[in-house]
Amino acid sequence: MVKLIQHIPTNVITGFLGVGKTTAILQLLKQKPSEQTWAVLVNEFGQIGIDGQILEQEGVAIKELPGGCMCCAAGVSVKVGINTLLANAHPDRLLIEPTGIGHPEQIIKQLSESPFDQTLDMRACITLVDPRHLDNPRYRENEYYREQLNIADVLVANKVDQCTQEDMDAFAQLVGTRQPRASGQVTHGELDIAWLDLPHARQQENRPSWLQATPTPELEPDIESIRLEAGETMRRLENHSGEFASCGWLFAEQLCFDHQKIISLFSAMTAERIKASLRTDQGNYLFNSIDGDMQASSRETPPQNRVEIIMQGEPDWDKIEDALLSCLI
Ligand SMILES: Nc1nc2c(ncn2[C@@H]2O[C@H](COP(=O)(O)OP(=O)(O)OP(=O)(O)O)[C@@H](O)[C@H]2O)c(=O)[nH]1
Ligand SMILES: [Mg+2]
């Protein structure tokens, strides 16, 4: 019998690099009704995905789409990625985290059109903002950032623990101007699960008639997550788009890094974003840095020894690689 996949409630959770999208998805997963299966599609700018590892847990199907904005990447990999995820997991809900430097408007448009209009039911797009950035021209004038604000059905201030009263006043003003369906002020991505079922603006105005059932998309080959070949100790993959460049390194599992040296290296680096999941002499750690704000959190699950760095301009990746290698024990 053909199993039908149709009208899967789908939300895009967007926001700029490091604003807290993955943290928010983790919080939503904690609130997931236990009888439901959810799927998460994580799209990263870098070639070496890290968020997928962070989100991995029981009852949740994860698919990573690394290597740049999913609307600009080859459409076929997006189609294959989503179809495979749906066909394998039969989820009750799909959450999508696009890269913070991508085009969410275009992504939502693609997902609202054929062939996805038959399988996905686009619900509210939730945009996270860090109120500390609202007055910063570097953000205000950024095309990705502006698009994220434009498509918000729900506008949420995250990291309010780091904000001043002026930052929060600026957020209140933004909400007043934009008039989203809902808004909130949270820390650590503590989103209200009820926001997920608010409608997406575009669809409410022009709701398609997709009442007929459609067959499950054919199961196409899975997108392999990047792995080292036997005997390989390191692989480096770069990506470049517009003003942003990224470089990711995958190191062999048995390699171990000096925790203190890694902290010093990442803290001294001027990068848009640094993410690393590493085995260190002090245990398995996730390192997270945005605008020089470094956080290191220990993890039980074995890391895959990955580093992903996003910078502006044309960084000297060889030099950074030497510095990373000098942190090996
Ligand atoms: N102080 C503080 N830190 C937070 C909060 N929310 C998230 N973070 C931290 O911010 C960092 C980035 O969070 P992520 O959830 O990875 O952000 P993201 O938007 O998914 O990042 P990208 O996928 O790289 O764009 C992590 O170190 C989080 O622990 C918050 O409310 N307050
Ligand atoms: Mg993320």
Most informative mutation of 22, 65, 274 for ligand 1 (most atoms within 8 A of CB): 22
Tokens of 22: 């993955």
* Entry field: residues in the chain: 329
Ligand 1 atom closest to 286 (CA): 27
Answer yes or no: do 17 and 152 share one domain: yes
* Count of helices and strands (H, E) across the chain: 11, 14
Determine how β-strand 293-298 pairs with β-strand 306-312.
Answer: unpaired
Domain contains 206: no
Answer yes or no: do 33 and 131 share one domain: yes
Termini Cα distance of the chain? 56
Q: What are phi and psi of 296, to 5 degrees?
A: -125, 125
CA 268 – ligand 1 centroid, Å: 19
Answer yes or no: do 249 and 320 share one domain: yes
Distance CA 223, CA 56 (A): 16
The CATH number of residue 261's host domain is 3.30.1220.10
CA 314 – ligand 1 centroid, Å: 25
Q: Give pLDDT, residue 2.
A: 52
Task: Judge if the beta carbon of residue 189 lies within 6 A of ligand 1.
Answer: yes
Task: Judge if the beta carbon of residue 43 lies within 6 A of ligand 1.
Answer: no
Domain span at residue 50? 8-189
For atom 26 of ligand 1, the residue with the nearest CA is 288
Domain contains 214: no
Task: Name the β-bridge partners of 81.
Answer: none
CA 20 – ligand 2 centroid, Å: 7
- Our count of domains for the chain comes to 2
Contact 172, 180 (CB under 8 A): no
Sheet holding 234-241, edge to edge: 234-241, 244-251, 306-312, 273-280, 283-290, 293-298
Last residue of a domain, one of 167, 189, 211: 189
Task: Judge if the beta carbon of residue 23 lies within 6 A of ligand 1.
Answer: yes
For atom 32 of ligand 1, the residue with the nearest CA is 159
Distance CA 178, CA 183 (A): 10
Distance CA 310, CA 291 (A): 11
Domain contains 134: yes
One pLDDT digit (tens) per residue for the chain, 329 residues: 455 678 999 999 999 999 999 999 999 999 999 999 999 999 988 888 888 888 887 779 998 888 877 777 656 677 888 888 999 999 999 999 999 998 888 889 888 988 899 899 999 999 999 999 999 998 988 999 999 999 999 999 999 999 999 999 999 999 999 999 999 999 999 999 999 999 998 444 443 333 333 333 333 333 346 788 888 999 999 988 888 999 999 999 999 999 999 999 999 999 999 999 999 999 999 999 998 889 999 988 766 899 999 999 899 999 999 999 999 99
Domain contains 49: yes
Domain contains 302: yes
Task: Name the β-bridge partners of 138.
Answer: none
Last residue of a domain, one of 189, 206, 222: 189
Domain contains 229: no
CA 44 – ligand 2 centroid, Å: 7
| CB proximity list for 298: less than 8 A, separation 6 or greater | 282, 283, 284, 285, 286
Answer yes or no: do 91 and 149 share one domain: yes
Q: Give pLDDT, residue 167.
A: 97
CA 191 – ligand 1 centroid, Å: 13
Tokens of 9: 């409630």
Tokens of 147: 């698009």
Answer yes or no: do 148 and 38 share one domain: yes
Task: Name the β-bridge partners of 236.
Answer: 249
DSSP type of residue 32: S
Predicted TM-score of the model (pTM): 0.89
Distance CA 248, CA 218 (A): 32
Determine how β-strand 306-312 pairs with β-strand 273-280.
Answer: antiparallel
